[in-house]
Amino acid sequence: MIQSPQPSQERAKRSSDYVDDVPLPPLRKPVYILLQDHDRAERLAQQLEFFGLGVHALATAEAFCAAMRGRLPAAIVMDVDFSGPGCGLLLAAQAQLGLDQAVPLLFFSLHETDTPTRLAAVRAGGQAFMTGTLEASSLLEKVEMLTNATQYDPFRVLIIDDSRTQALHTERVLNSAGMITRSLTEPIRAMAELADFQPDLIILDLYMPDCTGPELAKVIRHNDRYVSVPIIYLSAEDDLNKQLDAMSEGGDDFLTKPVRSRQLLTTVRNRAVRARHLKARMVRDSLTGLYNHTHILQLLEDCRLRARREQQPLSFAMLDIDHFKKINDRHGHPMGDRVIKSLALFLKQRLRKTDYIGRYGGEEFAIVLPNTPLSAAYKVLDEIRRRFAEIIYPAQPHDLHCTFSAGVVQLDQAHDALSMASAADEALYRAKHAGRNCVVRVDPA
């Protein structure tokens, strides 16, 4: 489900998010789709609905204009020749006039096109161009890309400074630029705060009573997980030698107080952007963008500790695409990759923002569901399983359908991350033996 993280006072309620019924995700803004072949647009819309995306196939220019007046979509998919040769280009360009922010626009042409058409598409504000067979999962992938590009995921900055006044001032500057901050006046609590807050970047004071900034930087760097989190010193110290000493102890930058807001923001933003890129390469799988094997297990362990601390339920699931070898053998590896990517997208669309999804192995996925009891996790996964089986992959000589099997477990007293994973794997194995295309849950003894 797509849900924003909830404030802590609602924590008690969270465990029931999945319980009452299996809610479909609250749909994000819809996508408007306009093709010359309206039946095709309708079929595509239906396919995209399986991914949890709200899609309106619009049949006429008038219907499109009315829809645009009513509600701006997440994206527009427009056939260049909708309602006449080249008319789609014009219509899309007109629709963007007078908007505060352009709506992501994707052009489509049934046939391969010439450069002038593509140029016209760029001038009409098109951010992507697709030709040939429009397939739901590759279209969704494009839409995801375009809408994420315009989505802003705020940076998280941890400020460690014994002066509350200074920390508050820094927080205010960063907050004004939309960053999320937390400040800590007792450096001794830094490691717990890091684990809990998972900042993109740390701003560190040089002189504090319990320990110095460089000492703390060393402690932070001793933990593999935080080796690449940028540390920026912010201090009134203006002795260059002392600054350089501090920098050589695990720091990335040194800002001298008083610092201009703009300099602080630029430094923080540049460092944070680079750190995010680097981190994504370390923890994400390159085909699907999901977390990789190592990181999903790390996240499971983080969630396990939190679940214990907060006495909340935690579920964990393993999924495996059925007969995957056959798909590769019959249709080739590109089709196999497409199915893997489409299941990845499907899971991203269908699960909550607070759930963690990983690619565990070749065609195997792992999902961490915090604050979720087993019965609710089972229902959600079974609903996803049912829906996923309805997706059609255009292929020769016959269109392709795929299914997956899954095993799901809930955290119990004896579990650590690895034993929980192997219990889920065992349940998955049982699902395979029960004939595949099913979810097996392991109820606590």
- Classified as helix, coil or strand, 305 is helix
Q: Give strand ranges (E) for 322-403.
A: 356-359, 364-370
* Distance in angstroms (rounded) separating the CA atoms of residues 177 and 265: 8
How open is the CA angle 311-314-319, to the nearest 5 degrees?
Answer: 175
Beta-sheet strand order (sheet of 31-34): 55-57, 31-34, 75-79, 105-109, 128-131
Q: Count the alpha carbons within 13 Å of 148 in the hemisphere toward its beta carbon.
A: 9
Distances from the Cα of 268 to the Cαs of 149, 257, 274, in angstroms? 20, 15, 10
For Mg ion, give the closer residue by CB, 162 or 425: 162
For Mg ion, give the closer residue by CB, 106 or 206: 206
For Mg ion, give the closer residue by CB, 153 or 239: 239
Distances from the Cα of 155 to the Cαs of 150, 291, 354, 382, in angstroms? 15, 19, 17, 35
Asked if 205 interacts with Mg ion (CB under 5 A), we say yes
For Mg ion, give the closer residue by CB, 74 or 208: 208
Q: How many residues bind Mg ion (CB under 5 A)?
A: 3
At closest approach, how far in Å is the CB of 227 from Mg ion? Answer: 25
**Where does this chain touch Mg ion (CB under 5 A) — which range of 68-76, 128-136, 154-162, 317-325?**
154-162
At closest approach, how far in Å is the CB of 161 from Mg ion? Answer: 6
At closest approach, how far in Å is the CB of 155 from Mg ion? Answer: 23
Span 26-45, contacts to Mg ion by CB under 5 A: none
Asked if 186 interacts with Mg ion (CB under 5 A), we say no
- Classified as helix, coil or strand, 6 is coil
For Mg ion, give the closer residue by CB, 61 or 204: 204
For Mg ion, give the closer residue by CB, 189 or 353: 189
Q: Residue type for 91, please?
A: L
- Classified as helix, coil or strand, 25 is coil
At closest approach, how far in Å is the CB of 73 from Mg ion? Answer: 50
Parallel, antiparallel or unpaired: strands 314-321 and 364-370 = antiparallel
End-to-end CA distance of the chain: 29
At closest approach, how far in Å is the CB of 185 from Mg ion? Answer: 9
**Where does this chain touch Mg ion (CB under 5 A) — which range of 47-55, 77-85, 205-213, 264-272?**
205-213
Asked if 162 interacts with Mg ion (CB under 5 A), we say yes
Residue of 60, 207, 386, 394 interacting with Mg ion (CB under 5 A): 207
**Where does this chain touch Mg ion (CB under 5 A) — which range of 70-78, 198-206, 357-365, 416-424?**
198-206
Eight-state DSSP code of residue 224: G
At closest approach, how far in Å is the CB of 187 from Mg ion? Answer: 10
For 56, phi and psi rounded to 5 degrees?
-110, 120
Span 213-252, contacts to Mg ion by CB under 5 A: none
For Mg ion, give the closer residue by CB, 72 or 211: 211
Q: Of 228, 244, 234, 238, which Cα lies nearest the Cα of 264?
A: 234
**Where does this chain touch Mg ion (CB under 5 A) — which range of 118-126, 204-212, 286-294, 411-419?**
204-212
For Mg ion, give the closer residue by CB, 250 or 336: 250
* Distance in angstroms (rounded) separating the CA atoms of residues 337 and 328: 9
For Mg ion, give the closer residue by CB, 14 or 169: 169
**Where does this chain touch Mg ion (CB under 5 A) — which range of 2-10, 141-149, 155-163, 391-399?**
155-163
Q: Can you tell me which residue has the tokens 């087993």?
A: 374
* Distance in angstroms (rounded) separating the CA atoms of residues 308 and 191: 18
- Classified as helix, coil or strand, 231 is strand
Residue 279 and residue 207 in contact, taking contact as beta carbons nearer than 8 Å: no
At closest approach, how far in Å is the CB of 214 from Mg ion? Answer: 13
**Where does this chain touch Mg ion (CB under 5 A) — which range of 13-21, 133-141, 200-208, 327-335?**
200-208
Residue 318 and residue 360 in contact, taking contact as beta carbons nearer than 8 Å: yes
- Binding mask of the shown chain, residues 114 to 153, with x at each position contacting Mg ion by CB under 5 A: ----------------------------------------
Asked if 200 interacts with Mg ion (CB under 5 A), we say no
Asked if 17 interacts with Mg ion (CB under 5 A), we say no
Give the binding site for Mg ion (CB under 5 A): 162, 205, 207
